[in-house]
Amino acid sequence: METAVIIGLDALSFMLALLLVALGLIIIFGLMNVINMAHGEFFLLGAYTVVLVQNAGGGFWLGLMAAPIVLAAIGLALEELVVRHVYHRFIDTILATWGLSLAIKQAVIVVFGPTAQQVQNPLPSQVLILGAVYPSHRLFIMAVAIAVAAGTFLLFYRTRLGLAARGVIANRAMAASLGIDTRRMDRATFAFGAALAGLAGAVMAPLMSVDPQMGVGFLVPAFLSILVGGAGSLPGALLGTSVIAGSSTVVASIWTQVVAQIAVFSLAIVIIRMFPRGLAGGRR
């Protein structure tokens, strides 16, 4: 019973962190038709922002608040300098953002070195849930992710700004004909997606080995979640991340990480074969 509770909570916390990364990817892809290969590095930079703030004596909480702001600024700059010049050529966006990903990774190695950095756990205590002892920080991650994901959904489905963004996603040319500044939408979206990934990296940093490879570890399952859930659909992201995070956590707890990877990839292939447009049916 205790193990089941712990596995369930682990799966949920992984799913929620993955959701933050996947939401940014989906919004950017939906609005700009850009597959952002550098998204894992936005996650990475979020974690390193915490390292930087902590080394400067600022502590984890300040780092957590700084990360989305720093990443929004970086996202804004990269959109202006690189992405907007290639966004109408689909394959080029993959190459360009992949190039960005390599450059960011190398820059991190130059500045911080290739070895893992430590981030102090700000909530080292443990709590008792349904008879199982569980680390507080993991619960905190879940709370942050739920709040941010719910905020993103409200922003998209309940506000005028979200309606404009969904309009641009559904029909960019028509939205522009109605007077909506699609360039401004692009910039805001890219910055927002980067901030979400940065926040995810920052909040996960105390649990992970903060090293230059940590972004890839989240980008691949995030992409799989989107394919499984259905690209271009926010509810699909919920489905996709639950399937991927759930299956990988459960399998890894019974066997090993390697078996989990194989199982997750196989499951993804089966689902995509059966639902080519994703579990959410590719509805926009």
Partner 1 sequence: MLTVEGLRAGYQASSEVLRGLDLTIAEGETVALMGRNGMGKSTLLRAIMGHLRIAAGRIRFREHEIVGRRPFEISNLGIAYVPQGREIFADFTVEENLILGVLGKPALPARVPARIYAWFPVLAERRRQKAGTMSGGEQQQLAIARALIGRPRLLLLDEPSEGIQPSIVQDLAVTLGRIAGEERLTMLLVEQNLDLVLRLAGRCLFIENGRLVDAAEPARLRADPALLQRYLSV
Give yes or no for residue 126 binding partner 1 (CB under 8 A): no
| Residue 215 contacts residue 223 (beta carbons within 8 Å) | no
Give yes or no for residue 173 binding partner 1 (CB under 8 A): yes
Shorter beta-carbon distance to partner 1: residue 65 or 180: 180
- Size (the chain), residues: 284
Give yes or no for residue 163 binding partner 1 (CB under 8 A): yes
Give yes or no for residue 259 binding partner 1 (CB under 8 A): no
Give yes or no for residue 171 binding partner 1 (CB under 8 A): yes
Which of 176, 208, 263, 272 is the binder for partner 1 (CB under 8 A)? 176
Give yes or no for residue 188 binding partner 1 (CB under 8 A): no
- In whole angstroms, how close is the CB of 235 to partner 1 at the nearest point? 12
Distance between CA atoms of residues 190 and 120, nearest Å: 30
Give yes or no for residue 12 binding partner 1 (CB under 8 A): no
CA distances from residue 224 to 131, 133, 166, 264 in whole angstroms, order as listed: 33, 31, 23, 9
Q: Which helix (H) or strand (E) holds 79?
A: none
Which stretch in 180-188, 217-225, 237-245, 257-265 sits in contact with partner 1 by CB under 8 A?
180-188
Q: Nearest 5°: CA angle at 258, between 252 and 261?
A: 75
**How many Cβ atoms are within 10 Å of 28's Cβ, its own excluded?**
28
Give yes or no for residue 167 binding partner 1 (CB under 8 A): yes
Give yes or no for residue 85 binding partner 1 (CB under 8 A): no
Distance between CA atoms of residues 243 and 100, nearest Å: 29
Which of 132, 180, 208, 250 is the binder for partner 1 (CB under 8 A)? 180
Shorter beta-carbon distance to partner 1: residue 115 or 171: 171
Which of 111, 179, 273, 274 is the binder for partner 1 (CB under 8 A)? 179
Give yes or no for residue 178 binding partner 1 (CB under 8 A): yes
Q: What is the DSSP string of 2-47?
A: HHHHHHHHHHHHHHHHHHHHHHHHHHHHHHH----TTHHHHHHHHH
| Residue 268 contacts residue 216 (beta carbons within 8 Å) | no
The binding site for partner 1 (CB under 8 A) comprises 160, 163-164, 166-167, 170-171, 173-183, 283-284
